[in-house]
Chains A and B, each alone.
Chain A
Amino acid sequence: MKLHTFLYSTCMLAMILALSCSEAADNPGPEGYENGLKNDCFKRSLGPNVVGIDMNFVYAMALPRQAGKILSAKVEASIPGADGTFLEHRSFYTDASGADIPVIVANPCVTTGAKSEVTFTTDTCAASLRYFYKVPAEAKGKSIEFNFSATASNGQTVNYKLGPYTVSNVDMALDLLATDGDKCYISVADLAVYNATEAAANSAKIDLVYLYRSSIASFAHALVAPAADAGYLPGISLPAGVSNNSPIRRVYQVRDKHLARLQYGVYVDDADFVALDFSGMPNFSLNLMNEYGIFVETQDGKYRAYLYINAVNPGTSNSGIPANSMKISIKRYTVK
């Protein structure tokens, strides 16, 4: 029995050693490493890709010191980015405390059409550049691909393709201020807040009325469809033609990162709008506070939107806005 165990162990050890030796031969160490330019890339930004928001990438390139230096780096997008698209001319590394430290390695980026390029000014054999692609309006609902490339002094060129990335079919409007009795008519179609005169001129597009009533219990800040029961529109005389009925689904703590710009990694995406069911939903939502939100559908069914409440005054915190007002940010999805 003991002899068998010994033989078995010896055989296994021999096999492991043989495998290790063969693996070592396949992967030579740094000294034998192929002298060539290498690159790698990944997308840093999370969440859906939305028009007007940056998509953020990191492009890393390196070659052995003795093989040469990096001359240039370039990114080409399948759809030209909006203003603000650029490739960083600074390379970043992370220090011991976790902070990103920039080092200038190239001339500032030159963006022409879909191409963003930097020419290196520093004699370096390794760099990690960031690329910010501001999603243009024409990319809405389409897919985008990126081709990253780098050139070295030894004549080598490498490239790395990323994508396709689908761009969300939503539009956004940030920090709209609604004030009780003044600019209190909200249009999802226009992503705007109107006063009574403007609302009368755009009556078919008014989906919600903002009002604040402290004298009524549990009313406070409210968003109410024009067609709601008059009891939910106390003291409101609607402008001529403003009569839309919009179902509302109230939610709390859906702190969409694009709208709230807080630390929470929550995103309202196209799929969320598609999955919404408004059957049996009310056309009013009272007592709204900071970090509440409502999903709403326009009467014609053309749009579904998420209105996030950034702040109310009086609120519990971070008001910073006029009295009896509400600051909202909107994501709007086009249904048809």
Chain B
Amino acid sequence: MNKNILNDKIAKLLLLCAALIFAIGCYDYPIDEDGLMITERAECYVSNFDLLGADFYTVRTKVPDIDTLACTINIEVKYGVDMKNLWPQFTLVTDAKLDPKITGFTDFSDLANPKQYTVVSGNRKVRKTYTVYVSIQKP
């Protein structure tokens, strides 16, 4: 008799687990206009930044200074770098995305007007605009 009750309980527990797994499996994250998943993450920052030259190799002289509070990136590039053809490379927190998107080589030659990029969090509710200040190594 007791054995039957135990079996019944185990069966119910298994059924509950299966239902739970099914429910999780069926949960659909919404998709944004870029076809990317909108998640629940609210973190919104740049964790690394680099500039690549025409040969797709880094042109920075040292690790960039990224201030996630002031939302600034200070990077020094080698002397003689072609500033009109640099490919910015951002590393963002999980699920975040960048606006505008990086689509190719970018002109960074106007040092007086630094480029700005906005990081959008995974839940698409937090937006932080970073300013990229580029300086050239002294010859």
Interface residues of A (CB under 8 A from B): 216-219, 222, 231-232, 249-252, 280-282, 284, 286-287, 292
Q: Knowing A231-B139, A281-B85 touch, does A218 contact B80 (C-beta < 8 A)?
A: yes
In the bound complex, how far is the Cα of B78 from the Cα of A219, in angstroms?
Answer: 9
**A251–B54 touching, CB < 8 Å:** yes
A-B contact list, 23 entries, CB within 8 Å: A217-B79, A217-B137, A217-B138, A217-B139, A218-B61, A218-B78, A218-B137, A219-B79, A222-B80, A231-B139, A249-B54, A250-B53, A252-B55, A252-B56, A280-B84, A281-B54, A281-B85, A282-B84, A282-B85, A284-B80, A286-B78, A287-B80, A292-B55
CB contact between A281 and one of B55, B57, B81, B82 (< 8 Å): that residue: B82
Interface residues of B (CB under 8 A from A): 53-57, 61, 78-82, 84-85, 107, 137-139
In the bound complex, how far is the Cα of B55 from the Cα of A286, in angstroms?
Answer: 12
**A287–B84 touching, CB < 8 Å:** no
Counted as pairs of residues, one from A and one from B, with CB atoms less than 8 Å apart, the total is: 45
Nearest CB in chain B to that of A252: its residue? B55
In the bound complex, how far is the Cα of B61 from the Cα of A217, in angstroms?
Answer: 10
In the bound complex, how far is the Cα of B53 from the Cα of A219, in angstroms?
Answer: 15
**A251–B55 touching, CB < 8 Å:** yes
Residue from B55, B78, B137 having most chain A Cβ neighbours under 10 A? B55
In the bound complex, how far is the Cα of B84 from the Cα of A281, in angstroms?
Answer: 8
> What 6 pairs across the A-B complex have the smallest Cβ distances?
A286-B80, A218-B78, A252-B55, A282-B82, A218-B79, A216-B139
Nearest CB in chain A to that of B57: its residue? A252
**A232–B85 touching, CB < 8 Å:** no
- Neighbouring A residues of B56 by C-beta, 8 Å: 252
**B80–A232 touching, CB < 8 Å:** yes
Q: Knowing A232-B80, A286-B80 touch, does A219 contact B139 (C-beta < 8 A)?
A: yes
In the bound complex, how far is the Cα of B139 from the Cα of A282, in angstroms?
Answer: 18
Minimum CB–CB distance from B96 to chain A (whole Å) comes to: 30
In the bound complex, how far is the Cα of B136 from the Cα of A218, in angstroms?
Answer: 11
Minimum CB–CB distance from A91 to chain B (whole Å) comes to: 46
- Neighbouring A residues of B81 by C-beta, 8 Å: 218
